């Protein structure tokens, strides 16, 4: 939708700064929710092989009739397939009913396996073959990023990491910025588990700007130049979450949100998750 800004990636392609994440959607619900989101104007969907809903995402896309080049679809290579990326990519494309994705990511580094560099070299080939327009990584800490930068020939376009005010990952964000890698913030609302949505800092700012706590959090992310794709199964929240581009937080409000760092992870630690 025209009101959603696009960011330019380091490979020259663009990405809508806002979209829909489909992790933890109830089986049998994803197609309905993605269809509703597309009706509302969402054009960017973030899925993964491990979410087991690529086929439902694909069905909603097919039924929408929206031209393929107006959509941005991301999927991810699951950990156990890091030595088998070409087959995994083909399986994901079959399920999605697409002949290419816009973005293909290594889902986790799983450093103990020691296979993510091989996976990255395979993603470079997948990109050359046109099966993924852009390629990137997810949950890569600076030491993982350094390995792919040393041994690969393509710089990842994005690094998708857990970020919300109570877990800001400043070191990883700085490493991304140093290499021209766009940060995608997963669990941008703290998945409703961390204290972000209910924090008095957030609710106070929401009252001051006449917006909801979710909109305040999402606006904080977009003002940092990050990409977000909050998940919701409720139509009214899908509509609420996309109304981010007609207001702004001032410097004091941003500083107050910046001050919420608390090390509150909702997902696994990438350095130990295998
Ligand atoms: P989010 O931070 O998007 O939070 C989702 C939760 O917030 C749900 O419980 C949802 O409930 C609730 N919610 C949504 N909108 C609102 C609102 N306006 N007000 C109040 N509550 C709201 O968490 P996710 O973990 O889903 O992260 C988003 C996406 O990031 C995922 O769907 C996935 O695409 C990606 N991701 C990637 C990971 C990775 O390893 N690369 C890991 C985890 C996520 P309800 O549905 O009932 O509205």
Ligand 1 contact, 109 CB (< 6 A): no
Does the pLDDT at position 242 exceed 50?
yes
Could you give the domains of the chain? 6-258 (3.20.20.100)
In the chain, beta strands by DSSP E: 6-8, 14-16, 20-21, 44-46, 72-77, 101-106, 132-138, 158-162, 182-186, 227-228
23 pocket-lining for ligand 1 (C-beta < 6 Å) = yes
| pLDDT 10s digits, 32-48 | 999 999 999 999 999 99
Instruction: Return the SS3 of 7.
Output: strand
- Ligand 1 centre distance from Cα of residue 188 (Å): 7
The predicted-structure confidence for 43-83, as pLDDT tens digits, reads as follows: 999 999 999 999 999 999 999 999 999 999 999 999 999 99
Beta bridge partners of 76: 105
95-101 average pLDDT score? 98
State the Cα–Cα distance between residues 112 and 64, nearest whole angstrom: 41
Secondary structure of residue 173 in the 3-state scheme: helix
CA nearest to 109, candidates 148, 155, 74, 149: 148
Residue nearest to atom 20 of ligand 1 (CA): 214
Reported pTM: 0.98
Indicate if 51 belongs to the active site: yes
Distance (Å) from CA 39 to ligand 1 centroid? 19
Ligand 1 pocket residue status of 237, Cβ below 6 Å: yes
Give the span between the Cα atoms of 120 and 164, in whole angstroms. Answer: 27
Phi, psi dihedrals of residue 221, rounded to the nearest 5°: -60, -50
> pLDDT tens digits, residue range 205-227?
999 999 999 999 999 999 999 99
Probe residue for ligand 1, chosen from 19, 20, 21, 78 as the CB with the greatest number of ligand atoms within 8 Å: 21
pLDDT top residue among 107 and 194:
107
Closest CA to 20 of 5, 53, 51, 42: 42
């Amino acid at each position: 939708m025209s009101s959603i800004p696009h960011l330019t990636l380091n490979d020259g392609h663009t990405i809508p700064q806002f979209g829909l994440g489909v992790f933890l959607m109830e089986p049998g619900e994803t197609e309905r929710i993605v269809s509703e989101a597309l009706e509302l104007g969402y054009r960017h969907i973030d899925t993964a092989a491990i979410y087991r809903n690529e086929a439902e995402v694909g069905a909603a896309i097919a039924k929408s009739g929206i031209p393929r080049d107006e959509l941005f679809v991301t999927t991810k290579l699951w950990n156990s397939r890091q030595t088998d990326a070409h087959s995994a990519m083909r399986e994901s494309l079959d399920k999605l009913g697409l002949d290419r994705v816009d973005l293909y990511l290594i889902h986790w580094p799983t450093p103990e396996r020691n296979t993510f560099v091989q996976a990255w070299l395979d993603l470079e080939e997948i990109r050359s073959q046109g099966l993924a327009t852009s390629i990137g990584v997810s949950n890569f800490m600076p030491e993982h990023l350094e390995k792919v930068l040393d041994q690969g020939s393509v710089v990842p376009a994005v690094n998708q990491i857990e970020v919300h005010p109570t877990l800001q990952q400043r070191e990883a964000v700085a490493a991304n910025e140093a290499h021209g890698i766009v940060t995608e913030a997963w669990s941008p609302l703290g998945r409703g588990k961390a204290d972000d949505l209910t924090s008095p800092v957030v609710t106070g700012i929401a009252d001051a700007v006449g917006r909801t706590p979710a909109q305040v959090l999402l606006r904080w992310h977009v003002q940092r130049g990050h990409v977000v794709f909050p998940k919701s199964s409720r139509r009214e929240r899908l509509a609420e979450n996309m109304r981010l581009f007609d207001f702004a937080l001032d410097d004091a409000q941003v500083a107050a949100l910046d001050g919420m760092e608390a090390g509150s992870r909702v997902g696994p630690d990438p350095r130990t998750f295998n």
